[in-house]
Structure 1
């Protein structure tokens, strides 16, 4: 399953604006590892390429020639393949593709496009693609400064950091108090699982992040089948305990 998740990084950019298409492609290549990107200048070309190499995510310009973006999205929503869509439009319309927006298959991106917002929409589209209903684990993507965990919320998953870094912090009297930093190879969110309690801190990305999300219900099964992840969890817990003991000694 891990290899299958890794392969879900094929993008098609359907845009009649070559400058915008190039900007989107550069952003994808900068923020998403192992990405494959195709482009199409009109709706018919986009459909032709989708028929030949079905993408995981399609970025659709609302103003496409030969077949407009709305019609292309309708066609994509009726296909058997699981395709996520980022719909780029100059007009804000909350009623368009409302059912698919609710499920997370379609993400509406309004112009003027900011690159950080674009990447957030792309990450959410990829999250929809990789998070199967029956999956034992899934990939999770975050742009910088996005919350992974919020203090006090119910805990349903733990996370293994594949790429990037995050920070854990508490907010008291309006001030953020840094608790620690989390990097690649470490687990995060494991304490709530161990103690059976709500989240006890905020965790936010400080860079582009790629994580493996493991639901509590499948954690034992996943760790049994992946000894390397079990070792990573033990190492994370050992580091947390060592840091906690060091803080007690200093205080």
Structure 2
């Protein structure tokens, strides 16, 4: 499939006129050299893909005449469409449905501009001058290290999904498991408060998606996202309870 790599072509597959309008405005505002097309079923989607060569297809989970996930499945399986990124607009991001190969993405808040930009950040570069949301997404496969004990602290993380484990190596060559970290928890947050190197190694137990927040933008990001501020407080509370339990036996 021939496509101008410098052209940002989006295909929005949805039967929701308000959603199409809102998304189109966000895309036009934030991406240069941008063309936006619409479709509402598989046949229209296939016709548009074959003729306008989109870089990204954004598909609503619910369509008027067919399941959006059926359109996703057909688009995903077409060999000629292997270079197309597929964004699924769904309330729940079901990462078990497709392998984490970088082609499938989930957009759980399509009405929110920052959510759209965050979702598309690894696919399409926004216009110069558009403010960065102050964080990026990061994916780990099982067994990957997020950071090692003794590393300098440059960022903190929020676990979107998956499980990690924290451990520390002993002088005798053993390993002490410090605990597991799951969805909704912060990782590496203590480095923000004490400016010390990493006190433990953190490794992915399963596939993990995280939000990476540089220390330089942590305060502004947390201030702008009350739900993340609550998650940080909750994480610190759990860490304190765990430490007290260890101390008291």
TM-score by length of 2: 0.52
Distance in 1, matches of 2:143 and 2:125, equals: 22
Deviation at 1:148, TM superposition (A): 0.7
Tell whether the 8 Å contact from 1:120 to 1:142 is kept in structure 2 after alignment. no
Specify which of 144, 152, 162 is matched with residue 160 of structure 2.
Answer: 162
- Aligned partner of 2:27 in structure 1 is none
Distance in 2, matches of 1:50 and 1:213, equals: 34
- Aligned partner of 1:150 in structure 2 is 148
Distance in 1, matches of 2:187 and 2:56, equals: 34
Q: Name the SS of the counterpart of 1:160 in structure 2.
A: strand
Question: How do 1:61-140 and structure 2 match up within 5 A?
Answer: 122=102, 128-129=122-123, 134-140=132-138
Q: Name the SS of the counterpart of 2:168 in structure 1.
A: strand
Is the helix fraction higher in 1 or 2? 1
Question: How do 1:201-240 and structure 2 match up within 5 A?
Answer: 201-240=200-239
Deviation at 1:149, TM superposition (A): 1.4
Call closer, same or farther: CA 1:217–1:48 in 2, change over 3 Å. same
Q: Are 2:189 and 1:190 equivalent residues in the alignment?
A: yes
Distance in 2, matches of 1:50 and 1:208, equals: 34
Deviation at 1:51, TM superposition (A): 2.0
Deviation at 1:134, TM superposition (A): 4.0
Distance in 2, matches of 1:152 and 1:135, equals: 29
Distance in 2, matches of 1:130 and 1:221, equals: 24
- Aligned partner of 1:29 in structure 2 is none
Tell whether the 8 Å contact from 1:146 to 1:205 is kept in structure 2 after alignment. yes
Deviation at 1:174, TM superposition (A): 2.7
TM-score by length of 1: 0.51
Call closer, same or farther: CA 1:227–1:135 in 2, change over 3 Å. closer
Deviation at 1:229, TM superposition (A): 0.6
Q: Name the SS of the counterpart of 2:156 in structure 1.
A: strand
Gaps of 5+ in 1: 1-46, 66-71, 77-82, 84-118
Tell whether the 8 Å contact from 1:165 to 1:182 is kept in structure 2 after alignment. yes
CA distances 1:147-191 after superposition (whole Å, capped 9, x unpaired): 111111111110111111110001123322100110111101001
Distance in 2, matches of 1:141 and 1:169, equals: 20
